[in-house]
Amino acid sequence: MEVGKEVTVGCPEGIHARPAACLVRVANEYAGKITIHYQNQMIDAKSIMSILAAGIGHGAKIKVVVAGDAAEPVLEKIGQLLETGANL
């Protein structure tokens, strides 16, 4: 199963080191594939270097795609993390 969701980045400084680390931690708890689509880039959500290199700023519109079993709860958790900037 594959699900996707458009998310607006709510972290005040964008996806910098701390939110990227939280995102990678959540992504690595999931066995399936998670990608972030941003400005014609497909970014592996399990790679902190790829996320930081993308330079995703505050207010950016991104699409998160989760593939695998139980994808919907993972997508919701990641969406919440990115929209609120909360450390999960």
What amino acid positions are annotated as catalytic residues? 16
70: tokens are: 């139980």
C-alpha 76/C-alpha 23 separation (Å) is 12
User: In 3D, which of 28, 78, 47, 59 has the Cα closest to residue 86?
Assistant: 78
Report the Cα 35 to chain-centroid distance in Å. 7
User: In 3D, which of 9, 39, 4, 5 has the Cα closest to residue 22?
Assistant: 9
